Amino acid sequence: MGKTIMDGLEIVLANWNRMQSSEMDEAGDDAEQFEASFYRWIDQLRTWYHSLAHKPADVDEALAIPEIAAITERLPTTLYLNFETELELIIEGQERDDDARYD
């Protein structure tokens, strides 16, 4: 896993924190910025996953990969659930439609 993915995680977490503390008039913009950064990061993770020589058979095996474990340790619980869902879709070879992404 490269620096790009870890840098992307930093951006996601910063946008998450900003969104959590948004004032009402900034909340919509902050939520959109978070969502965009989250899915850009997921796309980076998908690219990394496809480069693996040995792909995990399921989510539990993927979560045991040290790089993935390092990510999950940093995620807030609410964000972890979204991450796990996206990881499962990556493993299953599916991509979420833009309209079906989290709000």
* pLDDT band with cut points at 50, 70 and 90 for residue 79: very high
pLDDT by residue (tens digit) across 21-37? 878 877 888 899 999 99
Over the chain, what is the mean pLDDT?
Answer: 89
CA distance 87 to 38: 12
For the whole model, what pTM was predicted? 0.85
The two three-digit tokens of residue 24, written as one number = 């009402």
What's the burial of 98, exposed, middle or buried (CB within 10 Å: 0-12/13-18/19+)?
exposed
Cβ proximity of 87 and 57 under 8 Å: no
CA distance 93 to 9: 22
Quote the pLDDT of residue 97.
65
The two three-digit tokens of residue 68, written as one number = 């993935």
Residue type, 57: A
Stretch 49-54: mean pLDDT, rounded? 92
* pLDDT band with cut points at 50, 70 and 90 for residue 92: very high
Question: Is pLDDT at 86 greater than 60 in this prediction?
Answer: yes
